Amino acid sequence: MAKKMKILIAQPVPTTQNSPFHDLAKKRNLQIVFQPFLTIEGETVKNIRLKKINVQKYTALILTSRNAVNHYFRICDEMRITVPNSMKYFCISEAVSYYLQKYIAYRKRKIYSANNNFSELIEIMAKHEEERFLFVSSNFIKNGILEQLDNSDINYTRGVFFNTVATNIKKIKIQNFDMLVFYSPRDIASLYENFPKFQQENIKIAVFGEGTYNAAVEAGLDINIKAPNEQHPSMSMAIDAYIKSPKARK
């Protein structure tokens, strides 16, 4: 009986059995292990104050993730600050804007969203130039975002409300896996923080997104799978196509 291919995916375990990776594991007789390489840690109220971020002086928020939403309202709660009904919310996507329902009466607030495009979000914000914007962010943000903000006329302050740090996964026997799947540049950094002497050898590497691809190349990794692409918009589809190709048997 052929040995099961063992794949480590740098993501949390899917919360639903409808995950395409479950289907892929059955279809290709794979052993898939999910393990986040990154952990989100909330910033403390003390550090927010040390950075002289006066939460109450801002009239609008820039939100690019659900984590940003969670940690903004967490900090407000810990500071015993009531977010005013007049607050405006500028979200990178509808998914982030809908997530605000967890904390506010959605239909009664001024919420604006872009279509996962930061340039588009800046265009929307530019129509509200009188606002004082707080950009609720992680310690790591995508390249170009701050540059776009600085090149605009938007009056904004960046506030780091949470940190993306490497998860301690040193106990994992990384060399026992046939394939590693990464979703962000920080996943690559976490790999080497946990395993400074990591050698790729025969391990296949799959990356999602241009930033992750560039980080993997800079780290000296050989890339076997790159998604998304025209033929394979998802990572599960890209892995499936690779496994059934002659390349996988080399």
Residue range 161-210, pLDDT digits in tens:
999 999 999 999 999 999 999 999 999 999 999 999 999 999 999 999 99
Statement: residue 249 has pLDDT above 80: no
Looking at per-residue pLDDT, the higher value among 1 and 43 belongs to 43
Q: With CA atoms as reference, report the closest residue to 37 among 193, 226, 237, 238.
A: 193
- φ, ψ of residue 38 to 5 degrees: the values are -130, 150
Pairing mode, if any, of strands 204-208 and 225-227? Answer: parallel
For the chain, percent of residues with pLDDT exceeding 90: 88
Q: Which domains does the chain have, with CATH numbers?
A: 5-37+167-249 (3.40.50.10090), 41-164 (3.40.50.10090)
Residues in the chain: 250
Tokens (6 digits) for 32: 């898939």
Determine the average pLDDT of the residues in 31-41. Answer: 96
Q: Is the separation of the CB atoms in 232 and 178 below 8 Å?
A: no
Give the range among 15-19, 227-231, 239-243 with minimum mean pLDDT: 15-19
Determine the average pLDDT of the residues in 92-107. Answer: 92
Tokens (6 digits) for 168: 């301690």
Contacts of residue 122, Cβ cutoff 8 Å, sequence gap at least 6: 148, 149, 152, 154
Q: Is the separation of the CB atoms in 200 and 224 below 8 Å?
A: no
Q: With CA atoms as reference, report the closest residue to 100 among 118, 81, 87.
A: 87
DSSP single-letter state for residue 192: H
Q: How far from each other are the two terminal CA atoms of the chain, in whole angstroms?
A: 19
For the chain, percent of residues with pLDDT exceeding 70: 98
Please report the pLDDT score of residue 106 as a whole number.
77
Give the range among 40-44, 87-91, 137-141 with minimum mean pLDDT: 137-141
Determine the average pLDDT of the residues in 73-79. Answer: 97
Please report the pLDDT score of residue 246 as a whole number.
72
pLDDT band with cut points at 50, 70 and 90 for residue 247: low
Tokens (6 digits) for 236: 């599960």
Please report the pLDDT score of residue 156 as a whole number.
97
SS3 of residue 73 by DSSP: helix
Please report the pLDDT score of residue 248 as a whole number.
58
Question: Helix axis angle, 235-243 relative to 20-28, nearest 10°?
Answer: 10
Q: Which of 16-30, 96-110, 179-193 has the highest mean pLDDT?
A: 179-193
**pLDDT, the chain, mean:** 94
Statement: residue 139 has pLDDT above 60: yes
Cα–Cα dist 150/148, whole Å: 6
